[in-house]
Structures are given as C-alpha cells and as structure tokens.
Amino acid sequence: MKTKLSLLSLVALFFIASSCGNSEMEKRLATLERRVNQLENGGVVRNNGTLPTQAQTVSNVPEQNISANAAFKWDQTLYNFGTIQQGEVVNYTFKFTNSGTEPLSIQSASASCGCTVPSYSREPIAPGATGEIVVRYDSKGKNGQQSPVITIVANTNPKQTRLSLRGFVQTATAP
C-alpha cells in the first residue's frame, strides 16, 4: 500500500514538473491526487496497474469505480437452535445475496470447533445472485450452552465475516 502511495506521489510530482500550464496534465494531476486521497482514506483504486500515457486524453481514460466490490447481504448471521439433546445433529443454511458490483468468491469457511462443519459453493456468486453456507453442528459429547462461530473469508470488505450458532445441549437424565 505504501509502495502504491509513493509511486502515485512520484508520478504526481512528475506531472507537476512537466505540465507547465497544460490543462490536460492538470486534469490528470487532479485525478491522481484524488486517487492518492482515496488510498490514504482506505479506498481501493482498481485499475490494470498502468497509468495513462501522455498520448491519452482524460476523456478516453475510463473513470474507475473505487467502490466496486463484492458484498454479503445476509438474511441472518445468527441461528439459535434452542435446546437439543446431547448427540443430536443440527443443520442450518445461512442464505445471502451478493449486494456488490462484482462476483463474490468465498476463499474459505472454518469453524471454531470440530463439532461444526460449514460447506459452501466454490463457484463465484454474481452480483445480485444468492448463495448459501450450510452448517452442520454435531452435539455429540457437548453439554450446556454452545456458541460455535463460523468464519467466512471472501473477496469482500471486510475480508472476514462471522456467522454464529447458539443453543443449549442437554444430557439425558437417568430415570
């Protein structure tokens, strides 16, 4: 990140030194300064890694949409399974919509304990499309209040999202 900022600052200084009143260069400089400010404020500039050449004009350089990304919109992020008997298995499907502007790719889904197993599609979810994370919780050997957490890592901001299960596991009482 610091390398990008330094590079953009150096490029901006180069344009300042070489512009000498050229209005096209002033427009490019303003664009670069805006991008540097966005980077400093946590924004992400998406481009192909190249800067416009001097032969290009501002009008034929497409404006980059820095807010373009993938985003989860969950129906819910917490499922309370209530009270179950020890040894019961709970299955629950967390449903979401990609509310972003680019395909959503889940890199991983992991649980806080071995009793909980998440599964998900490896295919990218298109903007506006829906997806799901299926979670299987096995209460074998568990007792009392339970709250496993599932951590989803995806190309979203923030990169990690946490889903939770809550409930109480009862042991069978002797007659």
Compute the residue count for the chain.
Answer: 175
Please check whether residue 133 is in contact with residue 118, taking contact to mean a CB–CB distance below 8 angstroms: yes
Average pLDDT, consecutive stretches of 10 residues, N- to C-terminus, the chain (175 residues): 55 47 60 62 44 39 49 96 96 96 96 95 95 97 96 95 97 70
Question: How much is the pLDDT for 8?
Answer: 52
Question: How much is the pLDDT for 135?
Answer: 98
Question: How much is the pLDDT for 162?
Answer: 97
Per the DSSP assignment, residues forming a β-bridge with 151 are 110, 162
pTM: 0.60
Where does residue 85 rank: exposed (0-12), middle (13-18), buried (19+ CB within 10 A)? exposed
Question: How much is the pLDDT for 67?
Answer: 42
Identify the CA nearest to 135 among candidates 81, 62, 56: 81
Question: How much is the pLDDT for 52?
Answer: 41
